[in-house]
Every structure is written in C-alpha cells, then in structure tokens.
Amino acid sequence: MNVSLASTLDAGQQRRRDVTTISTIGIAHGSSHFFHMLLPPLFPAFIQAFGLSYSELGLLVTTFFVISGAGQALSGFVVDRIGARPVLFAAMASFFLASVAAGLAQGFGGLMLAAALAGCGNAPFHPADFTILNKRVSQPRLGHAFSVHGISGNLGWALAPVFSIGIAEATGNWRLAYLGTALVALAVLALLFWQRDAIDDRQGSWGHAKPAAGAPQEHPMAFLKLPSVWLCFSFFFWSTAALSAIQSFASPALHQIYGLPLTLTAYVVTGYMLAGAAGMVCGGFLVARAEKLERTIALALALAAGLLLLTASGWLPGGLAATIAALAGFGTGLAGPSRDMLIKRAAPPGATGRVYGTVYSGLDIGFAIAAPVFGAILDHGLPRGVFAGSALALLLGIGSAGLVGLGVARRRVAAAA
C-alpha cells in the first residue's frame, strides 16, 4: 500500500508512530552491533583454550565480515522485493544459532562456524533498517532517526565486551557467555514480533522515500553507475578499517605500549563506543543544520585521527593514553548522522535497500581486510601501528566523503538547471 502517512495521521499520532519505529529499529540495530562483538571480547580465552594466534583471530573477524559484506549487498535486493520485516526476523534467528555454535566450539573450526552464522545474521540489517526508517519516519524526525540508529549501534558495541567478559569472569566459564548471547537474540526477536506493525515497511511511504510521480522506471542495477555510490562505499571502507583495528586490537596494543593490564584495556573499546554514542547525539542536531555534510564529517574524523595519533606516540601516561583512545570515538560518532544523510542525498529515489546494502558492504569489507592486517601488525611487535594505521584510514575516509559531497552538489546544480 503506497499511502501518504501525513494525510491520515495527526501530529501526535505521527510523533508516536515515529518514536515507536525509531526505538524498535534502534534496539534491533544495537543487537546487530552487539553480535559484531560475539567473538572478539573473548579472544584471550580462545588463545588459552585453543592456542590461536592474533592472525588466526583476525581471520575469524574476516570470515564474519566477508559473509556479511557479500550478504549485505545481496540482501538490499531482497529487502526491496519482499520487505524488510521478514528479513529482520531471519537475521535474529541466525544470531541465535551463532551463539549456540560459539558456545559449543571445540576449536578454530567451531569458531569459524559461529563467525559465519553471525555474518549471515548481520548482512541484512542496514538495508532493512534504513528502508524501514526512510519509509515510516517523517522527514522532520529523519535526522534524529539516523542519530538514534547510530547511537544504538555504538551502545551494542559497548555492551558486548562488558556482557561477555562479565559472564565469563563471574562464572569462570567462557562458554556460558554464549548462553547469555543466545538469550539476547531470542529476546530481541520477541520484541520485533511484538512490534511487527511498527516495522512493516509495506504500510505507506513518506514522500521523501518515493520516486517522483511520472518518473521513468530505471533498471534495478542502474544505481551502480553512480560514482557517489562507490565513493560512499570507499568512505565506509576506510572509516571501518579504522574501527576494526580499535575494536579487535586496541586492548592488546595498549597493553604492549603502556604496560596496562588487559583487565583494564579490555574496556577501552566500551569507552570508545560510549564516546561515539555521545558524539552521535550531537551529530543528530548538527545534521539538521549543516548544508555541507562533508565538512562536518571531515572535522569530526580529523579530531578522532589526531587523538589516535597521540595515543600511538607513546608520550602519554598509560591511564591518560587509554582515556584519549576512548575519547577518539566521539569524533567518529559525531560524523555518523551526517554520513547517513549524505548517503541518502546520494541515493536515487526508490532504491533505498539496494543503495544502503551496497554502500554498507564497504563497512564489512573494511572490517574483513583490516582485521588480519592489524593482527599481523601486532604479531610483528608493532603495537603503535594499530593506532597510527587507524588514524591514516580515517584521513583517507575524509577524502572520500569530500568527493561524495562534491558529486551531490553537482547533481543538485544539474537538476536545477
């Protein structure tokens, strides 16, 4: 049904409907990021139990994100064809199975199976989430919807280490942590089913999500010809290569550079994600006021890169270095809502799932390639390279975002001519 929601709901009803959709998708998205971290928080336990190297652990991350990246690009087409809601249900079921596989793993092969199942579950989230948000949330609250979406992801990343490490340390058995994650997957699946009407993207569409009346129908693959799509892809690749290094290896790198205990550095990732969430709150207000989104992105990522380079220097006291590394997350979070809005501006109408699926697959490929690279850097005794390499990747991301903004501006000029 393609009915304008604005014509059938009063302002109060629209607000309540928007809030319900935004919050439900936020929780679902937070769970997907939670399961990004299904394995990394317990890497030390896997080293002790199975004798794995950091390079091998990096391959687990690669497996997750290669499958997620390929699946994300494909799932965009599935979402556009059958709708986002049933795809989300299947994704949460995959996370449940991944938790079971991790808890029963007897070696590297079992962990690879868990990584693969989790990657399948993660694949459809961004095309499904953004399709629902663009179709069901009104334009005045869309920027805040993107902000909440990003914040929930960071909170999912932040919660995962605390949750998994906490259960493992409290029980003395890392396998019981995966019983806990299995229950998380079932709980979120139950929530999605309960709020299934709020995430039904077939029920109407806001004007900003529809092609213009009378517009010619393009081939489903036509969006792949747009340079802006591939520039957005490259931006995600570079920015998430940096994130991959922090998520997977910031803890052992800080331990090696500054001699901090692993029990402390393990929570730097949580601090980084919480700082990122705070940045996204601020970014949600900036995105509504900034015309040149690429400028906001550049300043925010430059701030994060500077803090990471300072951490890499080795000049700071250990505790301050850990704090500075965590605070770098504020810069990447600040850029998040502007990033998502920039992608929306670059996307042609009616191709939401396909564009977001393709662009966000750059996130998965960035994670997949960066994880073994930074793992090898650590194996070769170069822990400062984790932070310096992350900073370099963020600076390359600034260049990609600038080119996207230039392309969007040219399209607007050409459309107005």
Domain borders along the chain are: 10-208+223-416
Q: What pLDDT does 111 receive?
A: 95
Task: Tell me which residue of 257, 254, 233, 258 sits closest to 245, measured CA to CA.
Answer: 254
Say which residues have a Cβ less than 8 Å from residue 299's Cβ, sequence separation at least 6.
none
CA angle 85, 130, 78 (to 5 degrees): 50
- 26 in the Ramachandran plot: left (φ > 0), alpha (ψ -120 to 50) or beta? alpha
Provide the token pair at 378: 């650590």
Averaged pLDDT, 267-271 = 84
> At 2, is the pLDDT very low, low, confident or very high (cuts 50, 70, 90)?
very low
The token pair that represents 331 in the structure block: 């810069």
b/e sequence 402-411, b meaning 16+ C-beta within 10 Å: bbbbebbeee
Neighbours of 289 (CB within 10 A): 8
How many helices (H) does the chain have, and how many strands (E)? Answer: 15, 0
Would you say 66 and 369 are in contact if contact means Cβ atoms under 8 Å apart? no
B/e letters for 91-116, b = 16+ CB within 10 Å, e = fewer, are: bbbbbbbbbbbbbebeebeebbbbbb
Residue 8 confidence (pLDDT) above 70:
no
**pLDDT value at 205 more than 70:** no
Residue 261, classified by CB atoms within 10 Å of its CB into exposed (0-12), middle (13-18) or buried (19+), is exposed
Identity at 288, one-letter amino acid code: A
Nearest to 22 by CA among 179, 138, 133, 101: 133
What distance in Å separates the CA atoms of residue 71 and residue 32, rounded to the nearest whole number? 14
Residue 367 CA to residue 397 CA, distance in Å, equals 14
The pLDDT value recorded for residue 188 is 95
Statement: residue 359 has pLDDT above 80: no
Coil, helix or strand at residue 68: helix
Q: Which residue has the higher pLDDT, 372 or 318?
A: 318
Greatest C-alpha distance within the chain: 67
Nearest to 370 by CA among 269, 256, 248: 248
pLDDT digits over 374-411, tens only?
Answer: 888 988 899 999 999 999 999 998 888 777 666 555 65
Percent of the chain with pLDDT over 90: 30
Inform me whether the pLDDT recorded for 75 exceeds 50.
yes
Rounded CA-CA distance 297/403 in Å is 12
Q: What is the pLDDT of residue 344?
A: 66
Average pLDDT, whole number, for the chain? Answer: 82
Tell me the three state secondary structure of residue 2: coil
Give me the pLDDT at residue 207, please.
43
CA angle 351, 354, 359 (to 5 degrees): 115
User: Pick from 266, 362, 416, 325: which is nearest to 65 by CA?
Assistant: 362
Q: In whole angstroms, what is the distance from residue 169 CA to residue 161 CA? A: 12
Residue 230 sits at φ, ψ, to 5 deg, of -75, -30
Q: Is the pLDDT of residue 208 over 50?
A: no
10-208+223-416: in CATH 2.130.10.10: no
Say whether pLDDT at 199 is over 50. Answer: yes
Backbone angles phi, psi at 53, to 5 degrees: -95, 170
* CA pair distance 355, 208, nearest whole angstrom: 15
